[in-house]
Chains A and B, each alone.
Chain A
């Protein structure tokens, strides 16, 4: 179940390249996603955190635009305000997918990580297993929800709603291999202009466990500034140690149990 469902011809991996340096924080992507997927609003309250009033990805917010203000009074020219449109990373090694006990989370023919809502049972185990804090169980529906990478639109040959609505092409959708080429060129271009930028999710430290991300980013600051983990972990890699330690204890206690019952028997 982890791989492509039967009878489906795998297509080249499709994904997103989201360039923070081009994002104007218009949130068109966030709204387009909600509209296409008919997701409810998250409530009406001002957070006071820059212009971000939806705060983070959630079961009802599958694109989220983060606003990072870095104003500098000493060197005004160094001031900046960065906007970053976050989304499910569609990891190569997806913690959510590995953790899912029902097989609801699959990798579809576009190499994207997709939650099948009719299979998911809302156990919620994928939630703490996502190293990016993306997937969440939607309380009303009782199933896990996150970006589908517009599986429905892709099947009809359409671009995902968020990318389609992005006015500045901060979100580029396409074949991941081609997007990487574009991204490298963009990095080179920006570096030539003296800008300190990096890719997140192509081959950096962050991909060590989770592998390259089908939705990757160009960021001009440290990842954590945008709520991205610098070193996301892949939960399944902790299993060997955990099982070993746990089963050793069980084994030891078996020995103790047998020992005690036998020992008493002998003494008797």
Chain B
């Protein structure tokens, strides 16, 4: 989540669920909290019982809206306009938390004079390269104060846009800044201080504009702005909760940044009842980004070496990531300890800690490019561990077709998923599929021990309750056995290339004879390696502060160090709660802190901002930070501490700088690092939209979004009359994702037994659809059928005096395997992605809807092979999404005509419908 990482320093939820109870206002936007995180929602209802206000902002009235005090509708894909509108309101009314903003953010920092805003360049920032479709962010930086330069020279001249992008790693620092200090204007008068640039950037995000773009009525929006201001400050705090409704967009990261910016302006982050609660997905998805399933990350958010960045030796790798100032000055300790954990004695200072053993990244190997390559025959084999892309992947027909190009596939799962059974889906002759499939039955949660890292970074151990049935085994067992057998196969090899396999530490054998007989390793031994130990003695590491870069310590993931501080003391097993911070309940990374940046809960002098919001403070008598949580600050560094010029590491931060991971220890409301699509969040329309961008007529979409223009991944044009409606995809409480774990369960299947398409009564009346009718939803990628669910919970969006946008929605849970089946909504969306994290845009694209069932060949052109000359995934939008001509008036006209076209196509529809019925 670089949205949070770039602002605050760490890419994780800043707070924890139980803390929601202490909020005065909870804004849930881009998340269907109650339906998708029902257990966590308990704390929202508790807050409500205490008198807190709960707001839900969503295109649909959901079960979350049902429990909220207020529901505000928003057209999908327009959240930056919305949050930007609140930011504008706060700035216009000078309602920001001045002391917090001045001391804890970079609001007063002066930005390079070469920087140009979207307001200057009609929708793009300075540094845009239309040919490459990327930004060079060298102008997105501070003006440096030459007089305060330290001894270090500018370490790294060329800024490199790939760095810090791509994932939710705590972003690297600013080597180019060296230890020179940025210029500041504490009076906030300088026109180029971050705050004033921000004023200018958001000045046109007025309530009128918000209504126009988002379809949210102005008066409702203004009421919300007032509520937000009234519930922030010394005495009150508000929390933002978001999830995929923000993330799954081509502006996903900036959606989150917008809220993080607002929270920084209002002084809500790091304080009880404040911050940003990122609601993560799968049971341990936080854990699997921590310890690390992303293609470009090592455990603990250490970016794997990339040849594109010239990281061809340990030194070159280190140079890019070990910042001179701030927390990341510790990078070498973490990286070296990790290599020691992996390769033991084979990792030495001489061989760059076995750097050569590591695989190097050579490009974008995230999910979508991988599947394009697969479709074009570039991937031979695939091991799928609990993933079901035949249903969960965008443009699913393409992904299904891609699977058929594999030679072999190993799939370890609880059920024979659609992916495992892709070769026998509707309309496919199994004889034409050459792929050999190995299905490995997986053990379920209760059949194996292990840990879950939940949405609030809490690592919780779970025990094994029963043996798995028959041949089912844990995933860990498959990995372990694979390692053992590879080691055996290569044991006599003398080739250098086989060394990593032979040298890798692999000592997880279970001490329990029964488990050994099952072939199961000891999961706690894996946790011990993750936690770390002293190489010489084997003593468990107690804190990551003790990790060394000289090879004397080993730790698989430094952020988890401390979870298992002594043999027999697995802290993740703890279960003592106190109703709030609960430091004795399991263990949270980092260092068991629950509310991050919590030094910000005290004023610059270290005193609580107010009695009501007391959390962590400086104890003058004991000369240390103390409070209800583990202080997220060097415990003994007094508030009065001032960094000396040229200081390095954490000494470069003042005693008032709560965001310790950042270069200057402050929240970066002007993003000098990390995001590849601009230092301020900016409203762009989604890749597919029925309307032009009302804010920047010349710039329809995020200029640097990732797209793949191929004939098997066609996109719809702006306001394409063939696809006049907006479609959003989402979840239902009753099912889980691709439905593998729920559609096979009769008790859950009966609760939502069929695929449906939710639509407003207004829409249904126009198209002559009755509740329960079959409808076919189509895009250029394919078509799916579903039952119509006509409900007043959806309503058309009014985006101009007479202009309306119809939005329909479909749950993502259906597929062709299981007790209940149905068409997968994912046949419909295109593959297109956010440039920072490569997340898809499943939350908004355009479609058409007609009454009646679909035809037989519903998977569309995505099936077809693509000629070799068209196979290279392009990845960048044509002309960066620039629109040649475009003025405000034109946009008006276009919106008007788009509405007309929509109406026209509806009429055509009616005709079609009559014909097909006749």
Contact = CB atoms under 8 A, between A and B. Distances in A.
A41 interface: yes
Among B41, B733, B750, B789: residue with most chain A CB under 10 A = B750
B737 interface: no
B42 interface: yes
A254 interface: no
Contacts of A76: 71, 73, 217, 220
A4 interface: no
B39 A167 contact: yes
Given A26-B733, A46-B756, A167-B41, A41 B61 contact: no
B754 A28 contact: no
Given A53-B750, A69-B792, A26 B63 contact: yes
A48 to B, nearest CB: 4
A3 interface: no
A81 B63 contact: yes
A113 to B, nearest CB: 25
A46 B35 CA distance: 19
Interface in B519-570: none
A150 interface: no
A69 B758 CA distance: 14
Given A53-B750, A53-B751, A81-B63, A48 B787 contact: yes
B792 A44 contact: no
A71 B750 CA distance: 26
A79 B61 contact: yes
Interface stretch (B236-244, B649-657, B741-749, B905-913): B741-749
A107 B734 CA distance: 35
Interface stretch (A9-17, A30-38, A242-250): A30-38
A31 B793 CA distance: 25
Interface in B192-238: 217, 220
B611 interface: no
Interface string B60-79: 01011111001101000000
B751 A54 contact: yes
A10 to B, nearest CB: 33
Main DSSP-derived SS at the A contact region: loop
Nearest to B65: A81
Nearest to B750: A41
A228 interface: no
Interface in A196-250: none
A26 B220 CA distance: 28
A95 interface: no
Nearest to A52: B751
A6 to B, nearest CB: 37
B612 interface: no
Contacts of A69: 791-793
B49 A30 contact: no
Interface in B30-75: 34-35, 38-39, 41-42, 45, 49, 61, 63-67, 70-71, 73
Contact of B792 (A22, A27, A73, A169): A73
Contact of A46 (B39, B753, B791, B793): B753
A28 B38 contact: yes
Given A24-B63, A25-B733, A48-B771, A41 B749 contact: yes
A45 interface: yes
A140 B793 CA distance: 39
Contacts of A189: 49
Given A69-B792, A167-B38, A169-B45, A24 B750 contact: no
Given A43-B750, A73-B795, A25 B49 contact: no
B748 A79 contact: no
Contacts of B63: 24-26, 51, 81, 83
Contacts, number: 107
A42 B63 CA distance: 24
Interface in A105-123: none
Contacts of B787: 46, 48
B813 to A, nearest CB: 13
A31 B747 contact: yes
Contact of B66 (A27, A31, A43, A81): A81
A45 B789 CA distance: 13
B435 interface: no
A168 B64 CA distance: 12
A69 B746 CA distance: 26
B293 to A, nearest CB: 28
Interface in A151-192: 167-169, 189
A34 B38 contact: no
B387 interface: no
Nearest to A54: B750
Contacts of B753: 43-46, 53
B876 to A, nearest CB: 41
A50 interface: yes
A262 interface: no
Contacts of B64: 24
Nearest to A70: B792
Interface string B395-408: 00000000000000
A20 B411 CA distance: 43
B819 interface: yes
B752 interface: yes
Contacts of A169: 42, 45
B44 to A, nearest CB: 8
B18 interface: no
Nearest to A49: B771
B751 A24 contact: no
Nearest to A40: B746
Nearest to B45: A168
B733 A31 contact: no
A30 B38 contact: no
Given A46-B753, A54-B751, A167-B41, A80 B35 contact: no
Contacts of B746: 40-41
B70 to A, nearest CB: 7
A28 B734 CA distance: 9
A40 B745 CA distance: 11
Given A50-B791, A71-B61, A79-B792, A24 B35 contact: yes
B751 A45 contact: no
B772 interface: yes
A81 B61 contact: yes
A136 interface: no
B260 interface: no
Given A31-B747, A34-B747, A44 B42 contact: no
B820 interface: yes
B789 A44 contact: no
Contacts of B793: 69, 71, 81
A71 B792 contact: yes
A28 B771 CA distance: 26
Contacts of A40: 746
Contacts of B38: 24, 26, 28, 167-168
A78 to B, nearest CB: 11
Nearest to B223: A77
A100 interface: no
A82 interface: yes
B915 to A, nearest CB: 26
Contacts of A35: 747
B41 A24 contact: yes
Contacts of B45: 22, 24, 168-169
Contacts of B752: 46, 51, 53
For the complex of A and B, 4 pairs with smallest distance between CB atoms: A71-B792, A44-B753, A41-B746, A81-B66
Given A50-B791, A71-B61, A76-B71, 13 more contacts: A24-B34, A24-B38, A24-B733, A40-B746, A48-B789, A69-B793, A76-B217, A79-B71, A83-B63, A83-B66, A167-B41, A168-B45, A169-B42
10 contacts: A24-B35, A34-B747, A40-B746, A46-B772, A46-B787, A69-B791, A79-B61, A81-B793, A82-B66, A169-B42
Interface of B: 34-35, 38-39, 41-42, 45, 49, 61, 63-67, 70-71, 73, 217, 220, 732-734, 746-754, 756, 771-772, 787, 789-793, 795, 819-820
